[in-house]
Amino acid sequence: MDVAAVARCVVRCYVSPAFGESEPLRLSDRQFLRLSLSASLSPHLSVSRSLKLHEQSHERRLSFFRPIMATDESISSDCAGETQLINGKQNNIVWHNCPITKSDRQQLIKQKGCVIWITGLSGSGKSSLACALSRALYNRGKLSYILDGDNVRHGLNSDLSFKAEDRAENIRRVGEVAKLFADAGIICIASLISPYRKERAACRALLPEGDFIEVFMDVPLHVCEARDPKGLYKRARAGKIKGFTGIDDPYEPPLDCEIVIQNNGDNGFCSSSSSLSEMADNVVTYLDQNGYLKPF
């Protein structure tokens, strides 16, 4: 594309309704457009020269491109002060509906999107169950994805500490992402300690009734501490970790969860769950009986 075509495209951006609120072209910008157009018509004025003339001012260059880079999801710094809040939300944010719905996506992959939220103390087997469950679903041709409490802190939540407010934000973010997976028709397996009922209830409230399946790994503290696969209990007992769930921070067990998996401390998991594969099969059976492994 020659410079004249680029210039015409720029002019259209400025007069397009999508950029109706953008600031008008400044004098220097109009001069640059004329130079660009002249460069395409005159053999004596090179394109590089016209560009160098405009690049003499970094501030002018930024002001020139700012309206072009604006999108429906961005607000320039000039307008940020004018944004008002309505019920705690910006009044310029509007939900955009898509004709392809959750039902369409579920029909396409022949399953029902939901969130399986595995909660329990550290060392209770949450991550192990999540992986076994994902494998069992895969073997049945069903699509799932695991949001592991440790894994999400390597990326999505890498900016969060283990302070109370950051731990709450960690759960909130995972809940929101899990909701998106479920809306895509995917069976999302969230595996986190998530020690407080209030935060788990808030994640449940994000989804339609029945689409949040809480699995409680009911394993006593002494069993988890004896396992201590990451050495965290030892460090917490030594005072090297503060606010560790089960030691100096409480864990609130679910009161009305959908699935409970218990451990007797000696012979593995009871309640007909003596192995990871059997535990996973129990969850798959629940999903099958409640229609999650078919679109409708």
Q: Given the residues 76, 194, 272, 274, select the one marked as catalytic.
A: 194
Distances (CA, A) of 19 to 13, 29, 75: 7, 16, 12
Tokens 């808030």 found at: 202
* Residues 55-61: contacts with CB under 8 Å, at least 24 apart: 57/28, 60/26, 60/28, 60/29
Beta bridge partners, 259, equal 215
Q: Pinpoint the alpha helices (H) of 126-196.
A: 126-139, 164-183
> Residue 39 is inside which H or E element, if any?
helix 27-41
274 is catalytic: no
> Residue 223 is inside which H or E element, if any?
helix 221-227
Chain centre to alpha carbon of residue 6 = 37
276 Cβ contact list (under 8 Å, min separation 6) = 125, 128, 129, 132
Asked if 113 and 79 count as a contact pair (C-beta separation under 8 A), the reply is: no
10 Å CB burial of residue 122 (0-12, 13-18, 19+) is: buried
Residues annotated catalytic, as ranges = 194
